[in-house]
Amino acid sequence: MSETARLTELADLIPAAESLRDIRHHIHRHPELAYEELQTGALVAGKLEEWDWQVTRGVGETGVVGTLKAGEGTRSIGIRADMDALPIVEETGLPYASGTHGKMHACGHDGHTTMLLGAAQRLAVTRNFSGTVHLYFQPAEESGIDSGAKKMIEDGLFERFPCDAVFGVHNHPGAEPGVLLFRKGPFMSAGDKAIITIEGVGGHAARPHLTVDPVVIAASIVMALQTIVARNVDPSQPAVVTVGSMHAGTANNVIASTAKLELSVRSFSAEVRALLKKRITELAETQAASYGGKAIVEYIEGYPVVINSDHETDFAIEVARELVGDDKVVAHTDMLMGSEDFAFMLQQRPGTFLRIGNGVGEDGCMVHNPHYDFNDRNLPVGAAFWTRLVERYLSR
C-alpha cells in the first residue's frame, strides 16, 4: 500500500507537533477580539496558500475559507474553527503570553485554529480523499450576540462553499488531553440575554413615601425570577436564569429614579426557551406595576441550542475510536450549559460539535480564566482527527 493510500494515524502527525506548537504560540501571543482577526486571518490564509489550498478572504468580515478538491468525488465536508480572543488580562506568565494588554486567548480558539491548520497541511500532502473540503475559519465566536458563524452564513457560506455535513470542536477542561467527547442531539444550551429597566420616581431618602423606589422593585424582581426555574419549568428540563448584573443609585441619601438588571438565560429546547422569555417578561412587568413602577424588558436571543445529528455524530465517534482507541472516546458525554455559535451552522447542515479534553486537576483551569492555556498535546490529536474524518467521509 502506498503512503497516500492508507488512512492517517495519530503517529503521522507527531512530527508536526513542534511546528504546530509554534503556530499556536504565535497566535496566542497576538490575540485579536471579535471582527478584529486580521493578523490571525492573514496567518491562516498565508499558511493555506503555502499548502496550495484555494483561499477566500473576508467571508463574514474577517473570516477565511480554505478549499481543497481531490479526485472526482461530488461529496463535500465543512470543518470550522474559531479565531477570536477575549477581553481578559492574561496572568499565565508564559513566555508566549499575550503581547496585547487586555486581550487574551482564554478560550483556546488559538488551539482550535491550529489543529485545523495541522489538518490542512496534512491533507494537502496526502490528498487521500475524493471530493471537496472546506475549512471555515470564523471570527467572533465570543461576541455573544453578533455571531461570526451567523455572519459567515449570511455572507453565503453554505451557498458559496457548500458541504454535506459540518463539524467543529471545542477544548474541554475537566477531561484528560486527547480524550474526544461526543453527544447526539441537544448538547449545548441556548444562551439569551434579558435587560430589565425599572422606572420609579426618585427623591430624598428621608421621604420614601413620596417616591417609587426602583431598588425595592429590582430586589423583588430578582427574588421573583428565582421561581421561574423552580415553579414554571418542567423539572426534567434544564434551565438557568441568572441575574448577573444589578445597578441603581448614586448615594445613600438618594432614592434612584431607575434601576437596571441584566440576565443570562439558558435552555435546551424551543419550548423552555419561549417559556423563560414569557415568564421573565410577565414577572418583571407585573412586579414593577404592583409597586407603582414600570419595568421595560428587552429580551435578546443569543445563540441557539447546539443540536448534533445522529448519523454524523455516530460517524465521528467511529473515526475517533479508530484513531485514539475506545478508552479515549466518550460517546455520550453530559449536556453543557455553555453556548456556542456553531449552533447556527448546525441549523443549516447536519453535523456534530465535539469536545477535546484540555486537562484535569492543575491542568484543568477553566476557560475565560486569566490563567487558562490551551493544551499543546491536543494539537497533533486534533489535526489527525480532522484529517482522518475527511479521509473517511470523502473515501474514494
Neighbouring C-alpha atoms within 13 Å toward the C-beta of 238: 15
| CA geometry: angle 324, 325, 330, nearest 5 deg | 90
Cell numbers for 122, please give them.
Answer: 496534512
User: What sections of the chain are H helices per DSSP?
Assistant: 10-13, 17-29, 38-50, 109-126, 148-154, 157-160, 214-227, 270-290, 310-324, 342-348, 378-393
Closest approach, Cβ 112 to Zn ion, in A, equals 8
Query: How many residues of this chain bind Zn ion (CB under 5 A)?
Result: 1
Torsion of CA 196, 202, 208, 210, to 10 degrees: -120
Task: Indicate the residue among 107 and 307 with the shorter CB distance to Zn ion.
Answer: 107
Residue 343 CB, nearest approach to Zn ion (Å): 13
Q: How many CB atoms lie within 10 A of CB 344?
A: 21
Interacting positions 17-46 with Zn ion (CB under 5 A): none
Answer yes or no whether residue 180 interacts with Zn ion by CB under 5 A: no
Q: How far is the CB of 374 from Zn ion (least distance, A)?
A: 10
Give me 115's grid cell: 489543529
Q: 144 or 249: whose CB is closer to Zn ion?
A: 144
Write the interaction track for Zn ion spanning residues 250-289; mark x where CB under 5 A is met and - where it is not. Answer: ----------------------------------------
In the complex, what is the shortest distance from the CB of residue 378 to Zn ion, in angstroms, rounded to a whole number? Answer: 14
Q: How far is CA 34 from the centre of its chain?
A: 12
* Interatomic CA distance for residues 79 and 85, integer angstroms: 20
Number of separate helices (H) and strands (E) present in the chain? 11, 16
Cell numbers representing residue 190 in the block: 441556548
Minimum CB–partner distance for residue 170 and Zn ion (Å): 6
Identify which of residues 25 and 105 has a Cβ nearer to Zn ion in the complex. Answer: 105
Nearer to Zn ion, 48 or 107 (CB): 107
The amino acid at residue 19 is S
Q: How far is the CB of 283 from Zn ion (least distance, A)?
A: 32
Least distance CB 94 / Zn ion (angstroms)? 19
Compare residues 254 and 366 and give the one whose CB is closer to Zn ion.
366
Q: How many residues does the chain have?
A: 396
Q: Rounded CA gap, 391 and 51, in Å?
A: 17
* CB of 130 closer than 8 Å to CB of 392: no
| Distance, CA of 349 to CA of 147 (rounded, Å) | 17
Closer to Zn ion by Cβ: residue 266 or 279: 266
Candidates 379, 388, 395; CA nearest to 111 is 379
What is the footprint of Zn ion within residues 96-155 (CB under 5 A)?
Answer: 107
In the bound state with Zn ion, the residue whose beta carbon lies nearer, of 68 and 81, is 81
What values do phi and psi take at 43, rounded to 5? -65, -45
| Distance from C-alpha of 388 to C-alpha of 6, rounded to nearest angstrom | 10
CB closer to Zn ion, 48 vs 86? 86
Report the nearest approach of Zn ion to the CB of residue 43 (Å). Answer: 19
Q: Least distance to Zn ion from the beta carbon of 84, Å?
A: 9
Closest to Zn ion by CB, 128 vs 339, is 339
> Rule CB under 5 A: which residues touch Zn ion?
107
